[in-house]
Amino acid sequence: MRGRQLAVAAGLLGVLCVPAHAEARDIGRDTLPANDGWAAEGAGTTGGAAADADHVYTVTDRAGLVRALDGGSATPKIIKIAGTIDADADTDDDGDRLDCADHATGGYSLKKYLAAYDPRTWGSAKPSGPQEEARQASAARQAERIVLPVGSNTTLVGLGDSAVLKGASLQVKNAENVIIRNLDLRDAYDCFPVWQPNTGGLGDWKTAYDNIWLSGATHVWVDHVTLSDKGHPDAKEPTHFARTYLRHDGLLDITGGSDLVTVSWSRFAGHDKAMLIGNSDTATGDRGKLRVTLHHNAFESVVQRAPRVRFGQVHLYNNRYDIPGDDYRYSLGVSTESRMYAENNAFHAPGHVEVADLVKSWNGSALHQSGTLFDGYPVDLLSVYNAYNSGSERDLTADVGWTPTLHGRIDSAQEADRAVARGAGAGRIP
Ligand code: CA
């Protein structure tokens, strides 16, 4: 009896000695591991790891986040987001969510805008005049709230497993050495899309904001983030002028001579155009840049651009794709001078999507692929692409002119498939 009581007491003591939830590891000073993709080139990527104690912040609202970001200054800093921050909220203490009507100015209204630039009456000229001017002024007011510049030597992380930043566009412009991790970034919603009469030949709507936009950014590590439109799915938007009135642009766009980027263990979910690497065929300054590694990411219900690449040497390995049932366009976009090296990626697709649908080329010439799985079966994306498009387009060659050397362990597609399903996204840093 006595022995049993002791054992019970010891057991209780053991329980009491271990906290109910082990303290979450502080990831604020983590740096990119050696060799982990293109961002490990040269001096690697350390973000704000060198921050002194005065530049380590925990922020819980938009105003605190804006203060900590310090206008995109290069001072080493570590910013931890706790809980949910809505970037499209007022600066006053009540933190009320602003809506599009609060941003609108100059007499802008969607109804009047549609009436003014209806292609049947306005034609194909670029919109100009009072409604377009009002739209631009309104858009500038929204941008002031939701565009958050991230400067050099910054680490921005979520605290714990439920940090959310919504309604924001994080922009790393002409900056270097940045780490963004463990954050759920959702709904970079554009109140004021612009009608572009010549886009795609017959016109389309253009939205302004990416959840993350890298432009002229070097040495950037994006890890364990979740990127989505959660809250305002574009599928629910109406069409105007027979085009979907999209509210979101990219989830993570990498343009303007950005270079040396690693995107790992992240989730791209429920979105149209997920990731654009290189935004123009004529941006020849991107030549030799846009070197990006994408590994162990999940692309779930992404319509297109996962990624679409121009110019860049992109190493794409161990990613997992869940192709959407509706409106699917393609996954891998091979555009001007792109040199994508894809290995051991796993695709899952609904019945009507074929292997030939996964790759699309615009003026591309090469794609390396190996170890690809499609619904669990090995496939060769390149030979299927060339067979399917024979006669209509030029063949893609397998010679992309380089072999990746900066990378961690490359798993089989089958192993990666399971690991990514389990471990990619915010709140899942082991
Ligand atoms: Ca974009």
At 209-267, the pLDDT tens digits run 999 999 999 999 999 999 999 999 888 899 999 999 999 999 999 999 999 999 999 99
Are the beta carbons of 258 and 216 closer than 8 angstroms?
yes
Rounded to an integer, what distance in angstroms lies between the CA atom of residue 348 and that of residue 365?
A: 26
The predicted pLDDT at position 115 comes to 98
Cα of 248 to ligand 1 centre, how many Å? 9
The predicted pLDDT at position 14 comes to 41
Instruction: State the sign of the Cα–Cα–Cα–Cα dihedral 189, 190, 195, 199.
Output: negative
Rounded to an integer, what distance in angstroms lies between the CA atom of residue 50 and that of residue 72?
A: 16
Are the beta carbons of 39 and 220 closer than 8 angstroms?
yes
The structure tokens 């080139």 sit at 41
Residue ranges for the chain with pLDDT beneath 70: 1-24, 90-96, 391-393
Cα of 208 to ligand 1 centre, how many Å? 7
Cα of 249 to ligand 1 centre, how many Å? 5
11-63 pLDDT, tens digit per residue, is: 444 444 444 445 568 999 999 999 999 999 999 999 999 999 999 999 999 99
Cα of 275 to ligand 1 centre, how many Å? 8
| Residue type (1 letter), 180 | I
The predicted pLDDT at position 11 comes to 43
Cα of 281 to ligand 1 centre, how many Å? 15
Cα of 62 to ligand 1 centre, how many Å? 23
Tokens of 166: 């919504």
Cα of 211 to ligand 1 centre, how many Å? 9
The string of DSSP codes covering 393-422 is SPPPBS--S----S--PPPPHHHHHHHHHH
What SS3 state is found at 131? helix
Cα of 16 to ligand 1 centre, how many Å? 51
Tokens of 363: 């003026």
Cα of 419 to ligand 1 centre, how many Å? 29
pTM assigned to the model? 0.93
Closest CA to 159 of 258, 27, 289, 33: 27
The predicted pLDDT at position 200 comes to 84
Are the beta carbons of 200 and 362 closer than 8 angstroms?
no
**Catalytic residue (choose from 291, 305, 310, 320):** 305
348-356: long-range contacts, CB 8 A cutoff, minimum separation 24 = 348/320, 348/321, 348/322, 348/323, 348/375, 349/321, 349/323, 349/374, 349/375, 350/323, 350/324, 350/325, 353/323, 353/328, 355/379, 355/381, 355/384, 356/384, 356/385, 356/387, 356/388
The predicted pLDDT at position 201 comes to 87
Are the beta carbons of 311 and 338 closer than 8 angstroms?
yes
Concerning whether 145 is annotated as a catalytic residue, the answer is no
Rounded to an integer, what distance in angstroms lies between the CA atom of residue 148 and that of residue 141?
A: 13
The predicted pLDDT at position 393 comes to 66
Rounded to an integer, what distance in angstroms lies between the CA atom of residue 300 and that of residue 212?
A: 18
